[in-house]
Amino acid sequence: MTTPADASIDALPVLTRIWAELLDLGDRPIDQDTTFLRLGGDSVLAVRMAALLRKQLGVVLALSDIGVETTLNELAELVRRRVGAGGTTRALPVELRKRADPHAAFPLRPLQQGYFVGQQDGWELSYESAHFYVDVRLTDIDGDEAEDSLADALRRLAAHQPMLRARVTTEGEQHMLSQDAPGAVPVPRVYDLRDAAPGTVESVLDKVRAEMRSTGPDPVRGPGIDVRLSLLPDGDARLHTSMSLLVFDGWSSTLLFRELVALAADWNAVLPPLGMDFGDYVTSVADLPGSDEWKADRSWWWSRLDAMPEPPALPLIRDPREVRATTMETREAHLPPSRWAALRDRCAARDVTPSTALSTAFAVVLARWAGHRRMLLNSLQLNRLPLHPDVHRVVGAFSATMLLPTELTEGATFAELASAAQKRFSEYSAHNLITGVEVSRELGRRRGTHRPVAPVVFQSTLSMDAAVGEAHPESAGPLGALDFGDFHHQLRTPQVALEARVYELRSELAIVFSLVEELFETEQVDAAFTELVELVGTLADGDGWDREMDLPSPAEATGSGLLLGRYDDTDRAVAEGPLSTTLEEIVAESWEELLGVPVLDRSAQFFALGGDSLLAVRALGRLAKSFGTPVPVREFLDDPTVAGLAAALAAHGATV
């Protein structure tokens, strides 16, 4: 439990110090009526601010209470009201609860469940692993010490961050192995190519990259991180890392890399201890359902679902259901430091965050590509509920998606569109106790589909350095110096057709498209990406803000042909009536045990009975053990009724 703040404490000096630290303001005086946003703050930094408020003032506020539009005076007043009982701030409805057994199993978070089901080939556009691959050049490496240094750093990091020892069960639970359990600690793989011919070096590097890009680590079978080191001629090397999105989010991958390099640089380095772990967080937020705040957020979302738009109707060359992609392809461009700094300044002057400006630019490009102005986008949020001051220093799969209906007003300037987007984001993110995965499930249920309802994603990890508390390291001791000018990466996430990502590296802004290239005309993708980069450039230069945006006239999609999110799927005829075969009775009994509800009709639909994708995997797994006959998840989703599953079992050879 957090120690309550003393009501007599003057919070303003403490809040001023917190803002100065987060926003790198030094000793600059802060106008108490200036917003966090105007000074360079955003939602990522708000997470750290909430944790620091809890640590330094003993005050617990929800992220919705400390939005980016908050001024220093307003925040001081929020703290005062929170300390004085009966205030109007929305405090978190749960407290962090430490688990008695740190190795006990705990549930998957909603987004983890989506990745887990995707790895069972449960969704279209899914893969055997959801992961993020990176490799970076190292120079001036100590080839004789590098391998031992890296292995030792991984061992110490696994002791510090228990999720490096995480495993996921086949039924969809997770747990952390003890440090001394066989195979618990990731072990690096090393390729010694120091004396190899140039052709051999390139061949091996190409092979390693291809393997790690297409086959990521699977925490069902081993560690969720794969680390490799290629020792090259002339003191060079490459550090390859692949992290499973099933157990590590984007924030965690950034944090892990920093800590790994810090430990490799110094055999005696000791990281500050953590007062919580991911399992403590997950078991604590599991208490959210049933709270008044959670119910209010669910009611807020549910009341808006029937008016939600469709995703952008991008022209397709193949139906996503027919595609079995191996990797997501990438387009990338960088804005140099001076222009990136100028863009940040112009965003602050317009009272929008850089993330909002960039997501608005993405929406404008999508509207022109799709031919309509009203669309549903998916936003990956790195927010962590501030249950503990260390929450920003813990690795795990904290991330959640948020569905964001977007309507671009015809005839508006870019500044007007971005301002409206900032207000809309603040409104929707204030109801973050319900995740986008949960909203998507309900939206899919209402629309009668198991296909992705929001397959176009925007993700920003801007401000990560400030949120984590340090910049990317440049030296790694025996591993040499890191050269981020020679940096490769690859993202692979299920249920996503196109994802725009923005991040900061070496004081540059990186703009990335990750996409399933088999779905789109290459020329259209290239044109859209070029258009996005050019639009961002006009915002950095300043002349794009007051320019009226050229947008399509229709609000809704009017195009023809194969379009994203608009599929001519014919529903199967529902087999109604009482259970009629022994197989149907067995399926019904299995569902009753798993879902805790009576199943009496052969047309009963698994998801209408309260099931979800994770429970579907469990149901199929249990029946597979009984019959020795697995039914693929995707096949089950085509007809998730008692009769449909019984027929699928029979088709795969199940007998009674």
Predicted local confidence at residue 572, as pLDDT: 63
In the β-sheet with 173-176, what is the strand arrangement from edge to edge? 106-107, 173-176, 166-168
3-state secondary structure 85-138: CCCCCCCCCCCCCCCCCCCCCEECCHHHHHHHHHHCCCCCCCCCCCEEEEEEEE
Predicted local confidence at residue 281, as pLDDT: 97
Q: Give percent of the chain with pLDDT exceeding 70.
A: 94
Parallel/antiparallel/unpaired status of strands 237-244 and 508-515 = unpaired
How confident is residue 87, by pLDDT bands cut at 50, 70 and 90? very low
Name every residue whose Cβ is closer than 8 Å to that of residue 91 and which is 6 or more positions away in sequence: 60, 61, 62, 65, 82
Predicted local confidence at residue 3, as pLDDT: 47
- In three-state secondary structure terms, 444 is helix
Q: 106-278 sits in which CATH class? A: alpha beta
Under a CB-based contact definition with an 8 Å cutoff, are residues 194 and 144 in contact?
no
Predicted local confidence at residue 9, as pLDDT: 57
Mean pLDDT confidence for 558-579 = 82
Mean pLDDT score across all residues of the chain? 90
Predicted local confidence at residue 4, as pLDDT: 47
Predicted local confidence at residue 470, as pLDDT: 62
Mean pLDDT confidence for 318-331 = 89
Angle between helices 642-651 and 613-627 (to 10 degrees): 40
pLDDT for residue 501 is more than 90:
yes
Q: What is the pLDDT of residues 178-233, one digit of tens each?
A: 999 999 999 999 999 999 999 999 999 999 999 999 899 999 999 999 999 999 99
Minimal CA–CA distance to 453: which of 305, 330, 561? 305
How confident is residue 406, by pLDDT bands cut at 50, 70 and 90? very high
Under a CB-based contact definition with an 8 Å cutoff, are residues 595 and 610 in contact?
yes
- In this structure, of 39-53, 141-155, 577-591, the range with the lowest mean pLDDT score is 39-53
Name every residue whose Cβ is closer than 8 Å to that of residue 12 and which is 6 or more positions away in sequence: 32, 72, 76
Predicted local confidence at residue 448, as pLDDT: 85
- In this structure, of 60-69, 298-307, 475-484, 501-510, the range with the lowest mean pLDDT score is 60-69
How confident is residue 336, by pLDDT bands cut at 50, 70 and 90? very high
Specify burial of residue 569 (Cβ count, 10 A radius: 0-12, 13-18, 19+): exposed
Mean pLDDT confidence for 601-627 = 90
Name every residue whose Cβ is closer than 8 Å to that of residue 430 and which is 6 or more positions away in sequence: 64, 67
Under a CB-based contact definition with an 8 Å cutoff, are residues 217 and 129 in contact?
yes
- In this structure, of 299-303, 434-438, 484-488, the range with the lowest mean pLDDT score is 484-488
Is 190 or 128 the better-scoring residue by pLDDT?
A: 190
Measured at the CA of 412, the angle between CA 409 and CA 416, to 5 degrees, comes to 95
Mean pLDDT confidence for 87-93 = 61
Q: Which fold has domain 313-466+490-549?
A: Chloramphenicol Acetyltransferase (3.30.559)
Predicted local confidence at residue 51, as pLDDT: 78
- In three-state secondary structure terms, 273 is coil
Predicted local confidence at residue 317, as pLDDT: 96
DSSP H or E run through 285: helix 278-285
Under a CB-based contact definition with an 8 Å cutoff, are residues 78 and 61 in contact?
yes
Tell me the HSE value of 29 on the side-chain side, using a 13 A CA sphere.
3
- In this structure, of 43-47, 95-99, 526-530, 584-588, the range with the lowest mean pLDDT score is 43-47
Within this chain, domains 11-85 and 582-652 share the same CATH topology: yes
DSSP H or E run through 592: helix 582-595
Query: Biggest alpha carbon distance in the chain?
Result: 78
Predicted local confidence at residue 5, as pLDDT: 47
Distance in angstroms (rounded) separating the CA atoms of residues 490 and 492? 7
Predicted local confidence at residue 84, as pLDDT: 61
Predicted local confidence at residue 90, as pLDDT: 59
Question: Residue 401 pairs with which residues in a beta bridge?
Answer: 380
Q: What is the pLDDT of residues 346-398, one digit of tens each?
A: 998 998 999 999 999 999 999 999 999 999 999 998 778 888 889 989 999 99
Name every residue whose Cβ is closer than 8 Å to that of residue 76 and which is 6 or more positions away in sequence: 11, 12, 15, 32
Name every residue whose Cβ is closer than 8 Å to that of residue 201 and which is 6 or more positions away in sequence: 193, 232, 233
Domain 11-85 is of which CATH architecture? Orthogonal Bundle (1.10)
Is 624 or 123 the better-scoring residue by pLDDT?
A: 624
Under a CB-based contact definition with an 8 Å cutoff, are residues 438 and 227 in contact?
no
Under a CB-based contact definition with an 8 Å cutoff, are residues 389 and 447 in contact?
no
Angle between helices 436-447 and 292-302 (to 10 degrees): 40
φ and ψ of 524, to 5 deg: -70, -40
- In three-state secondary structure terms, 259 is helix
Please give the structure tokens belonging to residue 164: 């490096």
φ and ψ of 428, to 5 deg: -75, -40
Mean pLDDT confidence for 496-504 = 94
Please state the domain extents for the chain. 11-85, 106-278, 313-466+490-549, 582-652
Mean pLDDT confidence for 384-413 = 93
Whole-model pTM: value is: 0.88
Alpha helices in 350-485 (DSSP H): 354-370, 414-429, 436-447, 464-468
pLDDT for residue 82 is more than 90:
no
Under a CB-based contact definition with an 8 Å cutoff, are residues 334 and 509 in contact?
yes
Q: How far is CA 159 from the centre of its chain?
A: 25
Predicted local confidence at residue 334, as pLDDT: 96
CA-CA distances (angstroms) from residue 5 to 11, 54, 78, 93, 450? 10, 9, 13, 18, 48
pLDDT for residue 600 is more than 70:
yes
Predicted local confidence at residue 478, as pLDDT: 94
Predicted local confidence at residue 472, as pLDDT: 67
Q: How many CB atoms lie within 10 A of CB 61?
A: 22
Q: Letter for the amino acid at 89?
A: T
Predicted local confidence at residue 471, as pLDDT: 63
Q: What is the pLDDT of residues 252-279, one digit of tens each?
A: 998 999 999 999 999 899 999 999 999 9
Predicted local confidence at residue 469, as pLDDT: 63
Q: What is the pLDDT of residues 447-476, one digit of tens each?
A: 988 889 999 999 998 877 666 666 667 788
Predicted local confidence at residue 437, as pLDDT: 93
Which DSSP symbol is given to 163? Answer: G
How confident is residue 28, by pLDDT bands cut at 50, 70 and 90? confident
Minimal CA–CA distance to 251: which of 345, 155, 111? 111
Predicted local confidence at residue 177, as pLDDT: 97
Which DSSP symbol is given to 547? Answer: S
pLDDT for residue 413 is more than 70:
yes
Mean pLDDT confidence for 31-42 = 84
Q: Which fold has domain 582-652?
A: 1.10.1200
Distance in angstroms (rounded) separating the CA atoms of residues 359 and 124? 25
Provide the strand spans (E) within 493-556.
Answer: 498-505, 508-515
How confident is residue 598, by pLDDT bands cut at 50, 70 and 90? very high
Predicted local confidence at residue 126, as pLDDT: 85
